[in-house]
Amino acid sequence: MSAVVAIAVHELKRFLADRFNLFFVLVLPMILVVVLGLQATSQSASSVGVVDGAEGANAATFAAVLVDQLDAAGLEATAYPDEEELADAVTEGALDVGVVVRSAEPAELEMVAPGEEAPPGLDQLVRGAADSAVVELGRRQALAGAAEASADEVAAVLERAEEQRDPVTVDVRSTDPVMQEFASMGRFDIGAGGQLLLFVFLNTLTAASATIQARRSGALRRVMAAPVSARQVVAGQALGRFVVAVFQGVYIMAASSLLFGVEWGNLAVVSVVVAVFGLVAAGVALLIGVLMDGEGVASGVAVGVGLVLAALGGSMVPLEFFPETMRRFAYLTPHAWAYEAIAEVQRRGGGLVDVLPQVGVLAGMAAVVLALGTWALRRSLGRVM
């Protein structure tokens, strides 16, 4: 048993000794967790610029009121001094759309968009804000006429009234349970789960090149010359791949929790899922290491297989967003079963009993690929001897 552990430890050290591997193991997963987390919460308000393009006090006041109403509608509205500067901001991408007030009475607006049309839905928001601005401007004019007050005085009175008004509480309730689950999660939680499965599988597969190096350099031949049986060598190689998978999984879980506050739920259950998933990856890595003759070819196959299975299995886009037909194909991959198990624990507080079906399927996959991988490696070692 000590020989098996020694071989496994040596495989892990050799894998981590490669600086190229260190980037993909330690750095890239965290970068992608950040990128996906920011993307998930990057639903920032659209930016709108407003220019008073007409003469008269009412036009200037209407433009100012329109800016307030656009802000109230959840848009980022900014007043611009002239049309030329507004057009430049739209062209450069600083604004999603520009609005030029051509007339206040009646209200006439001209929209400046980067393309032929304004972004979908944004024109409706601008029109709704313009309607509200017309009502607000009429209210101010009515108050000013009744009280014989200036526009500034009316604005001050309305502002005080707004501050003294009791706030309206609105509870938004979604009828979609999936969206409720996503809404209850942290910004980095979903991305971290996908990257965990992606890199555990991908980096375990890329470690297959170490088997090819050992075969081509004669390292396996020298190991077989020592008092070590073929069974121990096979077990050590398989355990080495599994240790790489576990190391990657533990690192992503720990780093994402410490750096980004990712909540994994029951860590013991998630660890079981990752361990069984790592066994599947270890078996596939053994097969690639035996069936491929060149390190470059093995690395290409490992990356290709790892990325394709991750994409099909929901590690890049959540399975809940897959079409029904594509979701059926997804369950041919170990990633989909592991994704479901982690989602059950992470989002719904599930325990080991709740994920036993997924763990059982992963264990079955692991048994098949490990049996094939060890059989192929033993045949290869027989030829070496």
Within a domain: 112 = yes
DSSP annotation string for 181-243: HHHTS-TTHHHHHHHHHHHHHHHHHHTTHHHHHHHHHTHHHHHHHSS--HHHHHHHHHHHHHH
Within a domain: 87 = yes
Both 214 and 350 in a single domain? yes
CA distances from 259 to 31, 33, 256, 308 (A): 11, 10, 5, 28
Residue 347 pLDDT level (bands cut at 50, 70, 90): confident
Total structural domains within the chain: 2
Candidate ranges 198-207, 211-220, 229-238; pick with highest mean pLDDT? 198-207
Among 177, 206, 240, residue at a domain's last position: 177
| For residues 266-286, average pLDDT | 94
Which of 7-21, 145-159, 348-362 is predicted with the least confidence, judged by mean pLDDT? 145-159
Give the residue with greater pLDDT, 376 vs 104. Answer: 376
Do 236 and 7 meet the contact criterion of CB atoms below 8 Å apart? yes
| For residues 183-209, average pLDDT | 84
Within a domain: 254 = yes
Do 102 and 60 meet the contact criterion of CB atoms below 8 Å apart? no
Within a domain: 54 = yes
Three-class secondary structure of residue 29 per DSSP: helix
| For residues 57-86, average pLDDT | 81
DSSP element (H, E) containing 248 = helix 230-260
Within a domain: 182 = no
Give the residue with greater pLDDT, 262 vs 164. Answer: 262
CA distances from 326 to 201, 319, 329, 339 (A): 21, 9, 5, 15
State the residue range of the domain holding 105: 47-177
Task: Give the CATH number, domain containing residue 165.
Answer: 3.40.50
Q: Is the pLDDT of residue 157 over 50?
A: yes
Among 135, 151, 177, residue at a domain's last position: 177
Both 347 and 206 in a single domain? yes
Both 151 and 284 in a single domain? no
| For residues 265-287, average pLDDT | 93
Both 110 and 196 in a single domain? no
Both 224 and 274 in a single domain? yes
The reported pLDDT for the residue numbered 249 is 93
Both 149 and 273 in a single domain? no
Give the C-alpha separation, 101 to 111, whole Å.
9
Q: Which residues pair with 112 in a beta bridge?
A: 98
Could you give the residue ranges of the DSSP H alpha helices within 24-150?
Answer: 28-40, 57-72, 83-92, 122-147
Residue 155 pLDDT level (bands cut at 50, 70, 90): low
Average pLDDT, the chain: 80
Do 204 and 309 meet the contact criterion of CB atoms below 8 Å apart? no
The reported pLDDT for the residue numbered 111 is 83
The reported pLDDT for the residue numbered 165 is 46
Both 244 and 367 in a single domain? yes
The reported pLDDT for the residue numbered 42 is 47
Residue 320 pLDDT level (bands cut at 50, 70, 90): confident
Give the residue with greater pLDDT, 140 vs 36. Answer: 36
Residue 183 pLDDT level (bands cut at 50, 70, 90): low
Per DSSP bridges, beta strands 47-52 and 97-104 are: parallel
Q: Is the pLDDT of residue 136 over 90?
A: no
Three-class secondary structure of residue 100 per DSSP: strand
Q: Which of the 8 DSSP states describes residue 79?
A: E
Within a domain: 223 = yes
Both 156 and 243 in a single domain? no
Both 373 and 244 in a single domain? yes
| For residues 175-195, average pLDDT | 73
The reported pLDDT for the residue numbered 118 is 65
Three-class secondary structure of residue 66 per DSSP: helix
Tokens for 294, please give them. 């060149």
Do 11 and 236 meet the contact criterion of CB atoms below 8 Å apart? yes
Among 146, 177, 208, residue at a domain's last position: 177
Both 89 and 34 in a single domain? no
Give the residue with greater pLDDT, 22 vs 56. Answer: 22
The reported pLDDT for the residue numbered 125 is 80
Both 142 and 193 in a single domain? no
pTM exceeds cut of 0.95 = no
Residue for token pair 């193991």: 25
At 169-181, the pLDDT tens digits run 434 454 556 666 6
Residue 380 pLDDT level (bands cut at 50, 70, 90): confident
C-beta neighbour count of 259 within 10 angstroms:
12
The reported pLDDT for the residue numbered 172 is 44
Within a domain: 231 = yes
Q: Is the pLDDT of residue 95 over 90?
A: no
At 1-51, the pLDDT tens digits run 577 777 777 777 877 777 777 888 888 888 888 887 766 544 445 788 888
Q: Which residues pair with 76 in a beta bridge?
A: 47
Dihedral-angle region of residue 349 (phi above 0 means left; psi in -120 to 50 means alpha; beta otherwise): left
Both 51 and 158 in a single domain? yes
